[in-house]
Amino acid sequence: MTLLVFIASLLGAMAIGAPVAFALMFCGVALMCYMGMFNSQIIAQNMIAGADTFTLLAIPFFVLAGELMNSGGLSKRIIEFAIACVGHIRGGLGIVAIVAAIIMASISGSAAADTAALAAILIPMMAKAGYNVPRSAGLIASGGIIAPVIPPSMAFIVFGVAANVSITQLFMAGIVPGILMGLMLIVTWQLLVRNDDIKPLPKAPAKDRLRATGRAAWALGMPVIILGGIKAGVVTPTEAAVIAAAYALFVGMFIYRELKPRDLPHVILQAAKTTSIIMFLVCAALVSAWLITAANIPGEITGYISPLIDQPKMLMLVIMILVLIVGTALDLTPTILILTPVLMPIIKQAGIDPVYFGVLFIMNCCIGLITPPVGVVLNVVSGVGRVPLGKVVTGIWPFLIAQILVLLLLVLFPEIVIVPARWLI
């Protein structure tokens, strides 16, 4: 019965238009009332405890690093570098989009920010070159969701805090799956454009490629510093976030000189708005998470799926289907915060590696960002690229299926995630 109260109160609050954070708080209050233990101090204490975590300091700094990267010209130079290297290949601008998406993912970790930067520059170029615009928009949206999978990732930080899993291990474990997502998109794109009448860009002379590499060197050095520092144990993910923001500020203002002092208030305000939304969600989720544990909802769910506890792959498949369905209606962060406290006890009981589960869980939540009807990243591409949302949805399907196939591959062969992660860690 507690499970029914949890689901009904959460969905009911969202159905009447309550923001997700308030729906999570209402859900917690409903559970407290049902169990006869309502206490407003518990709500306040759990919300404060939700924000009072050193690890979560990484979120505002990575958000700020992403804003500084886009405003300071780092994103533009990464795209120019990718065009110089692979733009001349048939279907090259599509490959440019994915290569740039992977590089930018290793800097900001924000799907919306990376997608906006790619869409603003590449969609007009692809339309002018004769590419199918809806398909191009779908590719860029699909490439954008690589950002929360490749470190540094704000999604991994939120999951790590909610699930009490090592964020460093999650970062290292996300590298190979993120690259696989990019490779699958490139293969899918090349299959789709093989018969299109597209004129490739002229091959850049070696001198121009070297110049583009030199112009992008400072931007390309950022992921090396972030991941290298974390891997070497020199910095924690939180400290790496501070370094990333400081590095992006320095490069944007003093190297590329595209970031002016007058731009800083706007950049900081945008980062603060994004951070406040994420942090309020985290705080509200801690209320419902505490009540989920107190009401033993994971135990209730375990009773329903107990036949699958001894079949980890089948259990993972069922959970991934559930997350995929939930992801069509919820944004990335709410999905993580709502489902993590419910699913983690089940995962541990089944003996599934929490880091492996975390990577697949975040991948699945990211797929929800390009899945109608909500699809936050679809709306970003539509707005920034000035492509009608209906056309973006039409163009997304081949790439959406490709990403689901990568997820299925990792469910069937966990070693693809686990073995490289152990080596990298």
* DSSP reduced 3-state for 207: helix
Res. 322: pLDDT tops 90: no
pLDDT tens per residue across span 23-64: 877 877 787 887 777 777 777 777 777 677 777 788 888 888
End-to-end CA gap in the chain: 43
Report the C-alpha gap between 140 and 396 in whole angstroms: 9
| Residues 380, 145: Cα–Cα separation, whole Å | 12
The full set of domain ranges for the chain reads: 54-280+302-424
Question: Which contiguous run of DSSP H or E holds residue 325?
Answer: helix 312-327
Residues 277-307, buried b or exposed e (16+ Cβ, 10 A)?
Answer: bbbbbbbbbbbbbbbbeebebbeeebeebee
DSSP state of 349: H
Provide the 8-state DSSP code for 370: G
Q: What percentage of the chain exceeds 70 in pLDDT?
A: 95
Measured CA to CA, the distance from residue 26 to residue 39 in angstroms comes to: 13
> pLDDT tens-digit profile of 166-203?
888 999 899 999 999 999 999 999 999 887 777 777 88
Q: Cα separation of 70 and 73, whole Å?
A: 6
Average pLDDT score over the chain: 84
User: Does 246 have pLDDT greater than 70?
Assistant: yes
C-alpha span between 336 and 217 (Å, rounded)? 35
CA distances from 369 to 8, 325, 362 (A): 24, 12, 11
- Give the C-alpha separation, 403 to 365, whole Å: 12
Nearest-angstrom CA–CA distance, 178 and 99: 12
Predicted model pTM: 0.83
SS3 per residue for 142-165? HHHCCCCCCCCCHHHHHHHHHHCC
pLDDT of residue 299: 65
pLDDT confidence band for 400 (50 / 70 / 90):
very high
* pLDDT for 366: 92
Task: List phi, psi (to 5°) of 153.
Answer: -125, 125
Using one digit for the tens of pLDDT, what is the confidence trace for 402-425?
Answer: 999 999 999 999 999 988 877 766
Degrees (nearest 5) of the Cα angle 396, 185, 109?
90
pLDDT of 300 reads 67
Question: How do residues 282-304 score in pLDDT, each as one tens digit?
Answer: 777 777 777 776 766 666 666 67
Position 54, amino acid: F
